[in-house]
Amino acid sequence: MAPILLRRPSLRRLGRALGAAAQPGDVIALVGPLGAGKTHLAQAIARGAGVPPETRVTSPTFSVVVEHAGRLPVHHADLYRLGDASELAEIGLVERAADGLLLVEWADRMPGALPRDVLWVTLSPARPDERSLTLSATGPRSEALRAVAERWEAARRA
Ligand SMILES: Nc1ncnc2c1ncn2[C@@H]1O[C@H](COP(=O)(O)OP(=O)(O)OP(=O)(O)O)[C@@H](O)[C@H]1O
Ligand SMILES: [Mg+2]
């Protein structure tokens, strides 16, 4: 799938489409440099999954993961400050998030800690106001989400 080039409002719309399609057990890894838009996308995905606007969705700073109530639970994790994989194992991140959607910023810091089926979304700054998104799926559920993004992009271009 070719990279998708998005300004902020479109990136948010794609995020909402992904969140609306999410099912319990889904995992989305958000990868890219500082300021790439991982948290922006995580917010929009959470909104799509039914997390109400009055719930602030920001990168968890003092804990590795926070849970938001939506149509399904949304677990938002950020591995940027994580010491090592044993810390993740201790938290039981993947097990704890199995009842809902798991969003993982900086997932590339600890890819081994994630389950097998993950939608990997890599964001890279294109122009100051645009981001290039590359999506790759590693199993049936992530493939279903990737297909949602592909259809969304096709509809946008039509
Ligand atoms: N097309 C775009 N999509 C998303 N964000 C954009 C876009 N254009 C500009 N931005 C800006 O880029 C920044 C993205 O910030 P965000 O916190 O989402 O990044 P991040 O990848 O989570 O960074 P960090 O690794 O520091 O947490 C915001 O300031 C946002 O306004
Ligand atoms: Mg962030």
Of the two residues 59 and 157, the one the predictor is more confident about is 157
Whichever domain contains 132, its CATH number is: 3.40.50.300
pLDDT band at 62 (very low <50, low <70, confident <90, very high): confident
The answer to whether the CB of 106 falls within 8 A of the CB of 122 is no
**Which of 14, 39, 40 best tests ligand 1's pocket when mutated (most atoms within 8 Å of CB)?**
40
Give the Cα separation of 24 and 38 in Å (integer): 21
3-state secondary structure 48-68: HCCCCCCCCCCCCCCCCEEEE
Q: At what angle do helices 8-21 and 38-48 cross, to 10 degrees?
A: 50
Which amino acid type is present at position 69?
A
pLDDT tens-digit profile of 26-56?
Answer: 999 999 999 999 999 999 999 999 999 999 9
- How many C-beta neighbours within 10 Å does residue 80 have? 14
In this prediction, residue 91 carries a pLDDT of 85
**Ligand 1 centroid distance, CA of 70 (Å):** 23
In this prediction, residue 153 carries a pLDDT of 97
- Report the predicted TM-score, pTM, of the whole model to 2 decimal places: 0.97
Provide the mean pLDDT of the chain: 94
What is the mean predicted confidence (pLDDT) over 64-77? 95
Of the two residues 157 and 85, the one the predictor is more confident about is 157
Q: At what angle do helices 140-157 and 8-21 cross, to 10 degrees?
A: 140
In this prediction, residue 123 carries a pLDDT of 98
Counted domains in the chain: 1
Assign 39 to helix, strand or coil.
helix
pLDDT tens-digit profile of 75-97?
Answer: 999 999 887 778 888 888 899 99
Domain of residue 18, residue span: 4-157
- Closest-lying ligand 1 atom to the alpha carbon of residue 7: 1
Ligand 1 neighbourhood includes 21 CB (under 6 angstroms):
no
Q: What percent of the chain has pLDDT over 90?
A: 79
- Closest-lying ligand 1 atom to the alpha carbon of residue 30: 21
Alpha-helical (H) ranges within 8-139 are 8-21, 38-48, 85-91, 93-96
In this prediction, residue 86 carries a pLDDT of 80
Ligand 1 neighbourhood includes 127 CB (under 6 angstroms):
no
Question: Ligand 1: which residue has its CA nearest to atom 8?
Answer: 129
What is the DSSP pairing of strand 119-125 with strand 130-137?
antiparallel
Of the two residues 64 and 3, the one the predictor is more confident about is 3
